[in-house]
Structure 1
């Protein structure tokens, strides 16, 4: 006999499935309920950027809450994420000069909302990263964009999530002088990219840590002093490092690097090459020095010689350097943690690689 006390839930499910089946887009999932957008909020977010392929099948889905799809749309990924209660969100990037015009901005927002609906996705991650002068038309347009796209997604896809990527500090890093206070107000999450922290080197042109601990944590202090809601802030960490060819390696182990200017700074990490954690774990074993540790920057590094006899210095993050960062997330009550990007670990069946990969996932929850 039907229990009428469950009528509201039954009607909600019935109406949702009716709308789903009646939609022009056919659900690609084995079970149609997996095409329903996720509406449940998580107290703690583990936010993963995915750049395509099938590495996602090896992610630690017991802790993943949101995946930002920066590769080709994969309906299988969407179905799996929804099956475990995790969100899959779009990538959003637009040339800011184009959306100063209200009509262009409205059209772009509609395009993204329609795409999210078409692909049964749960929101959007705004990854702009363009230089903006405070008080410029682009400055105002960017803030308006965040407000308007949040309103559009929330009204048309109930429970959807709008996140915005910011540099490691609000101090106009890379000339990104955004209206951080209002962007933080209008978005659901601020993903702080606590990496590429040598994108502008103002002092000596030398190889340094990708995300030095003290500098990284100081960035969060700056955001929180602006009264940005800490329960909206995600700490972003790197699952990659930088390989710097040394112009000279001093007796003290300091690696001088080529001067590659970036947005006003005379030097930058563009003198190096980004390398995935999977490559780093193999390279360190055949390096000249083995793993070394910098007590000031609280980061590991090593030196190696290439096939042409040139010395390189590699700086990266591993569980030891990530541990105090993950603990700071808990201590300061941030909303969660995430990484660029989930594909950069070694997911093969080698026992050593499996252990290394498991440690990188596990450290996200603190240590």
Structure 2
């Protein structure tokens, strides 16, 4: 009986520890580095013109790899340790938006970061502008005020053209609850239209929270832009009462698996190409009551970066939490007990496996440079996402694998669905599945379930027996899958 009560008590502690919104690591790290704007001398930059993205370079990667690069890491020349072959996107953090819609460039190091941009573009890596605001009232002004909104959109266009950016990532946090639904969706849709009018190749994305604490419409938000960067961290931090990892894969009510499978369940099931899973290159350090996992916390010390945590873990001995599926270590300084939880290559590997198994668009990290000159995390990216030479590239959405929008749509009661199957060098034939699902994910029709060779196909769907509403149809073939939405109106 005592053992059962202890288990229940432990679960309650873990479940309730992450139960409200807090400042994200993006905001906290920026606050911690404000002094750089005054004290850090500008990094020397080249005077050469910015070159556009070299589209002739093909990344030998099965997923997108999207890394945030904060200005303080650029100032420290972190990019000198980058493996650009393993990065599809570098997101420059940050361009700050004010309540008037004005957007300021990074003050120091001196803008533009021409050397970095050209190095990335020459290697085929896209450069994304990250626009930030962490104040709910300021964000409300930007997304609802006609004048601030107009100023914002035009400034975005100017910055993209002036710097040959390949897209924009919006990192608006602490939104008022009332602004998290239609208002931010309408704003992002206008931004997407504005940016895509410059070029359809440009990308628009949003940095989205791990948990919907109220008001968010993640499905609508994803449809209003090209994809979401899901900040899959900050589950534990300075606000916590017991120790645990910033990005637990399992354990408790809220964790990374819950984020992908439940919080973003519809998207990860039907539109996985809309999601990038963000992982942490950092972890919390506390002074604790004891050396046990889940110990009570006496004091939050700092956020430790991988480049510092990894060598300390090798000194003090790495521990593994089967509850959280995460690495950590503990040590004492005099009578003070310390615990540090962080992701090493073992725990990070499991998160990448989740992204792969769910066929997400890719993975990303906060933040590039936090691993210093160490190679463990670069090696892991190579292990998980580099396609071996001589093996056909397998992507979720190859250019010759397609699922078209049904026609007519809306329809009553019949419609036609066209799809294309890519050639496969390893097998001439594979099983193709085309199924229809209702809004809660229940399979309501099997349209195709047979072996097919590469080619173009179409199938007629008769929904006479179904009620009016939204339905999803999903095509699966080997490692590829695509989904679309259709509307039945009777």
**If the length of structure 1 is used for normalisation, what is the TM-score?**
0.76
CA distance in 2, matches of 1:123, 1:137: 24
CA 1:363–1:194 in structure 2 vs 1: closer, same or farther (change >3 Å)? farther
How much has 1:125 moved relative to structure 2? 0.8
Pair 1:256 & 2:296 matched: yes
CA 1:29–1:157 in structure 2 vs 1: closer, same or farther (change >3 Å)? farther
Q: In structure 2, which of residues 95, 120, 125 is the aligned counterpart of residue 81 of structure 1?
A: 120
Q: In structure 2, which of residues 175, 178, 185 is the aligned counterpart of residue 143 of structure 1?
A: 185
CA distance in 1, matches of 2:48, 2:232: 35
How much has 1:40 moved relative to structure 2? 9.4
Q: Can you list the C-alpha shifts for 1:311-346, whole angstroms capped at 9, x where unaligned?
A: 111001011101121112121111011111111012
CA 1:335–1:36 in structure 2 vs 1: closer, same or farther (change >3 Å)? closer
Query: Paired residue for 1:217?
Result: 257
Q: Which has the larger helix fraction? A: 1
How much has 1:366 moved relative to structure 2? 8.7
CA 1:179–1:41 in structure 2 vs 1: closer, same or farther (change >3 Å)? farther
Q: Can you list the C-alpha shifts for 1:279-332, whole angstroms capped at 9, x where unaligned?
A: 102322443xx11111111111111224x6421110010111011211121211
Pair 1:168 & 2:210 matched: yes
Q: In structure 1, which of residues 8, 29, 50 is the aligned counterpart of residue 69 of structure 2?
A: 50
The answer on whether the counterparts of 2:127 and 2:167 sit within 8 Å (CA) in structure 1 is yes
CA distance in 2, matches of 1:277, 1:360: 14
The answer on whether the counterparts of 1:193 and 1:237 sit within 8 Å (CA) in structure 2 is yes
- SS, match of residue 85 in structure 2: coil
How much has 1:112 moved relative to structure 2? 1.8
Query: Paired residue for 1:17?
Result: none
The answer on whether the counterparts of 2:68 and 2:93 sit within 8 Å (CA) in structure 1 is yes
Query: Paired residue for 1:337?
Result: 363
What RMSD in Å do the two structures reach over aligned CA positions? 2.9
CA distance in 2, matches of 1:75, 1:228: 39
How much has 1:254 moved relative to structure 2? 3.7
- SS, match of residue 89 in structure 1: strand
CA 1:310–1:200 in structure 2 vs 1: closer, same or farther (change >3 Å)? closer
- Greater Cα radius of gyration, structure 1 or 2: 2
Query: Paired residue for 2:87?
Result: 64
Query: Paired residue for 2:345?
Result: 319
**If the length of structure 2 is used for normalisation, what is the TM-score?**
0.58
CA 1:38–1:142 in structure 2 vs 1: closer, same or farther (change >3 Å)? farther
CA distance in 2, matches of 1:77, 1:295: 40
The answer on whether the counterparts of 2:140 and 2:176 sit within 8 Å (CA) in structure 1 is no
- SS, match of residue 68 in structure 2: strand
The answer on whether the counterparts of 1:38 and 1:159 sit within 8 Å (CA) in structure 2 is no
Q: Number of residues paired by the alignment?
A: 309
User: Unpaired runs of 5+ in structure 1?
Assistant: 1-26, 260-270, 348-352
CA 1:28–1:282 in structure 2 vs 1: closer, same or farther (change >3 Å)? same
Q: In structure 2, which of residues 200, 205, 216 is the aligned counterpart of residue 178 of structure 1?
A: 216
Pair 1:296 & 2:323 matched: yes
The answer on whether the counterparts of 1:319 and 1:360 sit within 8 Å (CA) in structure 2 is yes
Q: Aligned ranges for residues 72-111 of structure 1 at < 5 Å? A: 72=106, 73-94=112-133, 95-99=138-142, 100-111=144-155
- SS, match of residue 93 in structure 1: strand
CA 1:197–1:102 in structure 2 vs 1: closer, same or farther (change >3 Å)? same
CA distance in 2, matches of 1:217, 1:206: 20
CA 1:346–1:137 in structure 2 vs 1: closer, same or farther (change >3 Å)? closer
CA distance in 1, matches of 2:189, 2:227: 13
The answer on whether the counterparts of 1:337 and 1:364 sit within 8 Å (CA) in structure 2 is no
How much has 1:217 moved relative to structure 2? 1.4
CA 1:258–1:285 in structure 2 vs 1: closer, same or farther (change >3 Å)? same
CA 1:104–1:38 in structure 2 vs 1: closer, same or farther (change >3 Å)? farther
- SS, match of residue 300 in structure 1: strand
The answer on whether the counterparts of 2:57 and 2:123 sit within 8 Å (CA) in structure 1 is no
CA distance in 1, matches of 2:287, 2:386: 33
The range that moved more, 217-226 or 146-155, is: 217-226
